[in-house]
């Protein structure tokens, strides 16, 4: 039987890291399913989901742990019994960068029992000013009974306080 193995990977960025990781996975009969990888402040950081037969799991974990220049953490993931019905939402925000934006937005999301499925953030120079803008996009899931107007209002309240533009759209995912 196959199991899903979720990996977190970090090391000093250099050419060949992804190849090194992919080779170790395929040599130990793992199937690379999905991933997200980035260079963050000179560090290669990634998450990878691999499918592997249980009889190859221990050897794969040992091979990953032995990769030079990479720290790999591996966690077996078992799918939940039956996922509950959810609404998928997409959140985008842009605002002047400052400490606390993610904390405040995530507090509102948590109060509404919203799960963050994917979050991407970056900073960039503001056009026509010397300021820095913070950008974030998130894919979210929530109960079908979520009051989107209330959530939007709570986020807009933050927007007024933080000078953050927030758009919330129902996202259709096939």
CATH assignment of the domain containing 115: 3.30.70.260
Domain that holds residue 161: 87-170
Same domain, 56 and 100: no
Q: What is the pLDDT along the chain (174 residues), one digit of tens a residue?
A: 999 999 999 999 999 999 999 999 999 999 999 999 999 999 999 999 999 999 999 999 999 999 999 999 999 998 777 667 888 888 888 888 889 999 999 999 999 999 999 999 999 998 888 889 999 999 999 998 898 889 888 888 887 656 666 666 665 443
* Cα–Cα–Cα angle for 42, 100, 143, rounded to 5 degrees: 100
Same domain, 73 and 105: no
What is the total count of domains within the chain? 2
At how many degrees (to 10) do helices 54-65 and 17-27 cross? 150
pTM, to two decimals: 0.80
């Amino acid at each position: 039987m196959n199991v899903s193995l979720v990996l977190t990977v970090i090391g000093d960025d250099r050419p060949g890291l992804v190849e090194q990781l992919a080779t170790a996975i395929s040599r130990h009969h793992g199937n690379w399913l999905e991933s997200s990888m980035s260079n963050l402040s000179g560090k290669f950081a990634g998450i990878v989901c691999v499918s592997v037969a249980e009889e190859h799991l221990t050897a794969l974990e040992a091979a990953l742990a032995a990769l030079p220049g990479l720290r790999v953490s591996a966690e077996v993931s078992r799918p939940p019994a039956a996922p509950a019905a959810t609404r998928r939402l997409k959140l985008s925000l842009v605002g002047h960068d400052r400490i606390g934006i993610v904390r405040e937005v995530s507090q509102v999301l948590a109060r509404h029992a919203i799960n963050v499925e994917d979050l991407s953030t970056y900073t960039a120079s503001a056009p026509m000013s010397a300021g820095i803008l913070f950008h974030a996009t998130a894919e979210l899931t929530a109960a079908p009974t979520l009051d989107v107007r209330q959530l939007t209002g709570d986020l807009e309240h933050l927007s007024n306080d933080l000078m953050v533009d927030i758009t919330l759209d129902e996202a259709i995912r096939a």
